[in-house]
């Protein structure tokens, strides 16, 4: 008895439980009846045909049509309405080597180069994304941008406030690698293609120490005040609980390694010789010169403060790297030599002694020759003469 409705097979004798028998024919007249699940898909039907129907087995690529409409692979068998006497048509086809929807702007290379180009493009996208994230992070942790934020906030006094102290620790941690200017690569790394940091811990701490001193001195300068050693000690003691690991000893070591950029002076007149350096005055309490301090100094323009910060950073990296290279060149005969903080301090002190000895030897001798303008130093045990005595 025939039934009406939406079942796939109107003939109940061909349906049993959750399966249904479907008739499939080829263009040459060959046919077969195959039983599949109602919950299956056209893809499942094609797999069943390949394993049991010779025309399907001999045609690796074929499509199924029903009443002139191609059936989608994801279509479920139960969604197709087939009446009694209906059948599906198997149509073989030759699959092209190229994809069905090729990109119009790309050439048609062979299979292997195409996959290689795809991998290269994915690598470039990942690299560009990584560079973009890195640039954004560098901008967020830039010392100049951090100082601008501090000056715009309500807590301008020596990075006070939880938000400023936490951000300060993050900025210092992001600037603990000695990188080459313009390339942002670690100068201590032997791998030319790697951006990873190979700096020893003492060098990382030295970079953090300079970054802090550069920020601290710029903040004090922007407020129109002087940079005293006692003020630095109080600030570092307070910031130690916020993750800032810079200490007073680190500052002293840095002033020995890079005296042209970081200088601790004991005389106010000595500061004239270090105009472009971070000058820390260590004579306020020691010499009892509190009364000599001149309050209310004019505040410099912020643009000048920020520009000085960048120049000091460039000078510091150059001087520190030159010192490390000089030490490595001196010990080039030693195998497996590594630069340590102790070696750098000894090397810096030896260089200072050599310079002082050379200056002493140059200063010895008689009075300068007549007509010479190279030296204005008077001979020892001489007395000034009156015009008549001359």
Query: Could you tell me the CA-to-CA distances from 115 to 97, 111, 118, 125, 338 in Å, in that order?
Result: 14, 6, 5, 15, 44
- Residue 165 and residue 71 share a domain: no
Measured at the CA of 133, the angle between CA 130 and CA 136, to 5 degrees, comes to 150
Q: What is the model's pLDDT at position 332?
A: 63
- Residue 317 and residue 228 share a domain: yes
Pairing state between β 262-265 and 278-281 = parallel
Give the pLDDT of the chain (390 residues) as one tens digit per residue.
333 334 444 344 355 568 888 899 998 889 999 888 888 899 989 988 988 888 888 887 888 998 888 998 888 888 888 788 889 999 988 776 665 555 555 555 454 555 556 666 766 676 665 555 555 555 556 777 877 777 766 555 556 666 677 788 888 888 888 887 666 788 887 766 666 888 899 999 999 999 989 888 888 888 888 888 888 888 888 888 877 888 999 999 999 999 888 888 887 777 666 777 888 888 754 444 444 444 546 778 888 888 888 888 888 988 898 888 888 887 765 555 678 899 899 988 887 766 666 655 655 554 444 444 444 444 555 666 666 667
Distance (Å, rounded) from C-alpha 338 to C-alpha 244?
27
- Residue 177 and residue 60 share a domain: no
Question: Is 174 contained in some domain?
Answer: yes
What are the backbone dihedrals phi and psi of residue 65, each rounded to the nearest 5 degrees, phi first?
-120, 145
Judge whether 294 and 225 are in contact, CB under 8 Å: no
Which are the contacts of 197, defined by CB distance < 8 A and separation ≥ 6?
176, 177, 186, 188, 189, 204
Name the domain boundary from 51, 77, 92: 92
| pTM of the predicted protein model | 0.53
Please count the helices (runs of H) and the strands (runs of E) in the chain.
Answer: 10, 8
Q: What is the model's pLDDT at position 206?
A: 92
What are the backbone dihedrals phi and psi of residue 196, each rounded to the nearest 5 degrees, phi first?
-75, 155
Q: What is the CATH number of the domain that holds 48?
A: 3.10.20.90
End-to-end CA distance of the chain: 147
Question: Is 272 contained in some domain?
Answer: yes
- Residue 197 and residue 88 share a domain: no
- Residue 83 and residue 174 share a domain: no
As beta bridge partners, residue 15 has: 20
Distance (Å, rounded) from C-alpha 70 to C-alpha 89?
9
Q: What is the model's pLDDT at position 367?
A: 47
Question: Is 355 contained in some domain?
Answer: no
- Residue 168 and residue 87 share a domain: no
Q: What is the model's pLDDT at position 65?
A: 92
Q: What six digits make up the tokens of 12?
A: 């109940």
- Residue 318 and residue 183 share a domain: yes
| Number of folded domains that form the chain | 2
Q: What is the model's pLDDT at position 102?
A: 55
Distance (Å, rounded) from C-alpha 236 to C-alpha 245?
9
Q: What six digits make up the tokens of 61?
A: 């690529």
Question: Is 160 contained in some domain?
Answer: yes
Q: What is the model's pLDDT at position 9?
A: 40
Question: Which conformational region is residue 162 in: left (phi greater than 0), alpha (psi within -120 to 50 degrees), or beta?
Answer: alpha
Question: Is 183 contained in some domain?
Answer: yes
Nearest CA among 21, 77, 25 for reference residue 56 = 25
- Residue 305 and residue 179 share a domain: yes
- Residue 206 and residue 64 share a domain: no
- Residue 197 and residue 74 share a domain: no
Question: Is 118 contained in some domain?
Answer: no
Distance (Å, rounded) from C-alpha 102 to C-alpha 189?
44
Q: What is the DSSP letter of 160?
A: -
- Residue 346 and residue 228 share a domain: yes
Judge whether 246 and 236 are in contact, CB under 8 Å: yes
- Residue 156 and residue 232 share a domain: yes
Question: Is 125 contained in some domain?
Answer: no
Any alpha helices (H) in 59-161, and if so which ranges? 111-140, 143-152
Domain encompassing residue 33: 19-92
Burial class (CB in 10 A: 0-12, 13-18, 19+), 263: middle
Distance (Å, rounded) from C-alpha 317 to C-alpha 60?
67
Question: Is 252 contained in some domain?
Answer: yes
For 165, the 3-state DSSP assignment is helix
């Amino acid at each position: 008895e025939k039934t009406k409705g939406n079942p796939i097979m109107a003939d109940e004798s061909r349906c049993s439980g959750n399966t249904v028998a479907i008739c499939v024919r080829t263009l040459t007249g060959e046919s077969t009846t195959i039983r599949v699940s109602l919950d299956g898909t056209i893809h499942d039907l094609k797999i069943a045909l390949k394993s049991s129907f010779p025309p399907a087995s001999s045609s690796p690529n074929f499509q199924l049509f029903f009443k002139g409409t191609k059936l989608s692979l994801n279509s479920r068998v139960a969604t197709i309405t087939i009446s009694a006497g209906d059948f599906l048509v198997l149509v073989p086809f030759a699959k092209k080597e190229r994809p069905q929807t090729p990109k119009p702007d790309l050439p048609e290379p062979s299979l292997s180069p195409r996959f290689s180009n795809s991998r290269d493009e994915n690598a470039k996208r990942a690299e560009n994304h990584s560079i973009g994230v890195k640039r954004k992070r560098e901008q967020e942790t830039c010392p100049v941008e951090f100082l601008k934020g501090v000056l715009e906030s309500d807590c301008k006094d020596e990075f006070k406030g939880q938000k400023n102290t936490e951000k300060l620790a993050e900025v210092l941690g992001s600037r603990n690698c000695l990188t080459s200017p313009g390339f942002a690569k670690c100068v201590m790394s032997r791998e030319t293609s790697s951006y990873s940091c190979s700096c020893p811990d003492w060098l990382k701490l030295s970079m953090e120490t300079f970054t802090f001193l550069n920020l601290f001195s710029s903040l004090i300068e922007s407020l129109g005040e002087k940079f005293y050693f006692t003020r630095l000690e109080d600030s570092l003691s307070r910031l130690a609980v916020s993750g800032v690991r810079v200490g007073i000893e680190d500052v002293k070591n840095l002033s020995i390694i890079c005296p042209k950029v970081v200088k601790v002076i004991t005389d106010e007149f000595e500061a004239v010789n270090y105009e472009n350096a971070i000058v820390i005055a260590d004579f306020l309490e020691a010499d009892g010169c509190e009364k000599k301090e001149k309050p209310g100094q004019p505040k410099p323009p912020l643009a000048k403060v920020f520009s000085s910060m960048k120049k000091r950073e460039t000078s510091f990296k150059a001087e520190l790297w030159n010192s490390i290279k000089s030490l490595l060149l001196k010990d080039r005969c030693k195998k497996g030599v590594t630069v340590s903080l102790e070696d750098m301090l000894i090397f810096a002190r030896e260089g200072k002694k050599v310079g002082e000895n050379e200056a002493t030897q140059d200063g010895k001798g008689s009075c300068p020759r007549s007509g010479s303008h190279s030296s204005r130093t008077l001979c020892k045990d001489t007395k000034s003469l009156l015009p008549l005595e001359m």
